[in-house]
Amino acid sequence: AYVEAASDDYIEEEAGQRSTARQALERLERYVEPGPLVDLGCWVGFLLAEARDRGWQPVGIEPSTFASRYARAQLGLDVRTEDLFAAELPVGRFQAVVMGDVIEHLPDPGRALERAAGLLGPAGALVLMLPDAGSRVARLLGARWWSVIPTHVQYFTRQSLGLLLARHGFEVVSRETNPKSFTVRYYLAKTAGYSASLARAATRVAERIGVSDRTWTPDFSDRMLVVARRGGAAVGPR
């Protein structure tokens, strides 16, 4: 069950994850000023920690006991171990609702958008980060694309996500690629699913020349970061 999910890999990649979070927050801040922010499915809370440092008042909802406990104990964050839909949160109070790598896991993503709409204040913004199934890489690799995994039950293109958002009263104000930062070692390990021998050889070379621990942010253009507002809210950079 997801509530029992745990991953030390993600924690070991903290520097890269924080870098990715800062990029997302920079994009969000083009449209809204820092204020109350809720991250639905925040995992261990690296985005919340970065948001706090930038003047936001962050709170997180995370079903995983492991991840939510880490966020509270190690990062001092207000992260609640609850279901995304059952958690009691103030209606219409938040300047931002964030869902990073969340809606592709949900059987009913529309319900998540309705939840976000209810939490946002009049000038608030929704931020979604997720794989782009319509990207050139996704279409080229097909079922071998690295974002095709059992826990992903939805696959969105830019167009299909835009239609879903519109159906639930949102207007897209920004849509950009969303590359993730990890160490070179992490990325090379992930290539083992395509060629184990190549992954081992490349890892040895990276270690030999001293770059395996460097943070790398390759943009395969197969992820998207979307900022949206409820219909009728002011649209455009602040």
- Provide φ and ψ at 101, rounded to 5°: 55, 50
**b/e 151-175 (16+ beta carbons within 10 angstroms → b):** eeebbbbeeebbebbeebebebbbb
Domain 2-182+221-230 has CATH 3.90.550.10: no
Quick check: 223 and 178 in contact, CB under 8 A? yes
Sign of CA dihedral 104, 105, 110, 115: negative
The C-alpha atoms of residue 48 and residue 102 are separated, in whole angstroms, by 15
Per-residue pLDDT of the chain (238 residues; tens, 9 = 90+): 566 666 778 899 999 999 999 999 999 999 999 999 999 999 999 999 999 999 999 999 999 999 999 999 999 999 999 999 999 999 999 999 999 999 999 999 999 999 999 999 999 999 999 999 999 999 999 999 999 999 999 999 999 999 999 999 999 999 999 999 999 998 888 888 888 898 899 889 989 999 999 999 999 999 999 999 998 665 566 6
- Provide φ and ψ at 165, rounded to 5°: -60, -45
- Tokens for 14? 């903290």
- Tokens for 5? 């999910």
- Provide φ and ψ at 26, rounded to 5°: -60, -40
| Reported pTM | 0.92
Extents of the domains making up the chain: 2-182+221-230
Beta-carbon contacts of residue 214 (< 8 Å; ≥ 6 apart): 183, 184
**Rounded to whole angstroms, what are the CA distances from 106 to 155, 183, 192?**
11, 29, 28
